[in-house]
Structure 1
Amino acid sequence: MTTDTGEPTLTVDELAARAGVTVRTVRFYSSKGLLPPPSIGPRRVGHYSQEHLARLALIEELQHQGMTLAAIERHLQQLPPDLSAHDLALHRAVVASWAPDAVETVTRAELERRAGRPLGEADLERLAAMSVLARTEDAFRVDPGLLPLGVQLLDVPVAHEAILAARTALIEHSRAAAHELSRLFRDAVAERDSQAVKSLSAHMQPLVVQALLTTFQRSLREELREWLAES
């Protein structure tokens, strides 16, 4: 079954497998109103969209941050109701950006199950180039937060070399921005005690990440608009 936009839908088992949780967890979140109900198809089978998958990943991330279900419900209610799967994935990336690194070691079968598709050697190389995963001797170390975005990028018609060049450019500019912002904040709290510095860091990091993401998105849209106008 597919959605109105032609995207394939997921059964509850497929949704749970892609998200790396149990079917019981999916149904528990649904019973609490954290996940919208699925569309009902033939034989009364529930079908879930990519938005469900992205929202489930966001809920899991918020739980990893230590938020209670009540706090997660309030957080989700504050989000615009029409967010796409891509928007939800970006929001999750912002939330995860100030959390400790969460990397899991999985087999290739588990990796493909979570990706929702077979992964050839070229796919694995592209995901590794995007720092989504790293090979070990007989398994893969994968960032579950980046995996859905990485899998979406596999279908983007961009050469492997271009991905590596883009990653290098992003890292260089991100480090330069982080260095300059760190210097500014260091100067701003130079006369304060260490506890005040830690408090400022805890409050500013998510705000800075959100600001950088928003600024980058707007800049990218402007660049693409100019590029398309010239073509």
Structure 2
Amino acid sequence: MTTDTDRDTGEPTLTIDELAARAGMTVRTVRFYGTKGLLPPPVLGPRRVGHYGQQHLARLALIEELQHQGMTLAAIERYMEQLPADLSHHDLAIHRAVVASWAPDTVETLTAEELGRRAGRPLGEDDVERLAAMGVVRPDGDAFRVDSGLLRLAVQLLDVPLSEAVILASRQVLIEHSRAAAHELSQLFRGEVLERDEEDVKSLSAYMQPLVVQALLTTFQRSLKEEVHQWLADAHTESRGDTRTGSQEGRSA
């Protein structure tokens, strides 16, 4: 079975045909995005055959989402140019999820085979049940009602070593805080566009969207990093405190 990366070398092993199939695009489209600089070059293997991996797949998914938002190719190029070149496929998936949050709900009815293809991997019964618990998939007879905007991110969560309860609680925290941020931002922007005509409002929205996405991601990633560092520092301090207490008890005995 072909995998995204070779387990021994960590190098991408998808051919361009396999990449296109995973992304639901034609090879011609993938090559076109490559010539536009929207995809990093492939890793060249034996006989100079190009190999692709998860980062390429994640970038294609993000490009597709930006297109769904109505962004032109030129706007997508500008957006992608602003992204750090070394972003992991996990970071790109977060970008796509945030971008998708600006779009109206995109719920589709898919067969089990189509669901697996969209997910990019085979899904067992347990996987489908966890996706249903996350609110991304809902059984509908012999088919499934699927929130396509969140599907790929939810599939990645299947491999996260956290309990389902923690994942669902995390989802609720993100939803609540995202809604609060969206409300506050909408209040700020409303005064700016109140006296403008409809076309100006649409233009401002299209211009602000990628900037707000970048700001949200940057502040969230920095805040999360600070929280993790503080958590580790507190754990280290508590560990040293326990050691000292044990030593004092030993001397008292």
Q: Residue 122 and residue 8 in structure 1: after superposition, are their counterparts in 2 closer, same or farther (change >3 A)?
A: farther
Q: With the length of structure 1 as denominator, give the TM-score of the two structures.
A: 0.79
Structure 1 residues 220 and 71: alpha-carbon distance in aligned structure 2, compared to 1, 3 A threshold = closer
Which residue number in structure 1 is paired with residue 55 of structure 2? 51
The equivalent of 1:119 in structure 2 is 123
Show CA shifts across 1:140-181 (max 9, x none): 333444333222211111111222222222223333333344
Residue equivalent to 1:64: 68
In structure 2, which of residues 38, 46, 49 is the aligned counterpart of residue 42 of structure 1? 46
Unaligned runs of 5+ in 1: none
Aligned-residue offset at 1:50: 0.9
The 1-side partners of 2:117 and 2:85 are apart by 29
Q: What does 1:90-129 align with in structure 2 at a 5 Å threshold?
A: 90-129=94-133
TM-score, with structure 2 as normaliser: 0.73
2:25 is matched by which residue type in structure 1? V
Q: 1:132 aligns with which of 136, 141, 144?
A: 136
Report the 3-state secondary structure (helix = DSSP H, G, I; strand = E; otherwise coil) of the residue aligned with 1:80.
coil
Matched, 1:21 2:15: no
Q: Would you say how many aligned residue pairs link Structure 1 and Structure 2? A: 230
What letter corresponds to residue 94 of structure 2 in structure 1? Answer: L
For 1:212 and 1:33, the matched residues in 2 are separated by 25
- Provide Cα deviations, 1:189-217, integer angstroms capped at 9, x if missing partner: 59736749945655555544443333222
CA RMSD, Structure 1 to Structure 2 (Å): 3.2
For the structure 1 residues 168 and 203, does the alpha-carbon distance in structure 2 shift closer, same or farther, using more than 3 Å as the test? same
Paired with 1:105 and 1:8, the residues of 2 have a C-alpha distance of: 32
Select the structure with the greater relative contact order (CA < 8 A; seq sep ≥ 6). 1
Aligned to 1:192: 195
When residues 207 and 44 of structure 1 are mapped into structure 2, their CA distance, relative to the original with a 3 A threshold, is closer
Counterparts of 2:207 and 2:73 in 1: how far apart (Å)?
A: 22
Query: 1:2 is matched with which residue?
Result: 6
Aligned to 1:171: 175
| Bigger Cα displacement from structure 2, 160-169 vs 47-56 | 160-169
Taking structure 1 as reference, are residues 102 and 5 closer, same or farther at Cα in structure 2, changes over 3 Å only? farther
User: 1:23-79: CA deviations, max 9, x gaps?
Assistant: 332233334443333223235543101111111122222333344444433443343
Supply the distance in 1 between the matched residues of 2:64 and 2:129 (Cα, whole angstroms).
Answer: 27
- Could you tell me which amino acid in structure 2 is paired with residue 228 of structure 1? L
Q: 2:152 — aligned with what?
A: 148
Aligned to 1:157: 161
For structure 2, the residue ranges without an aligned partner over 5 or more in a row are 236-253
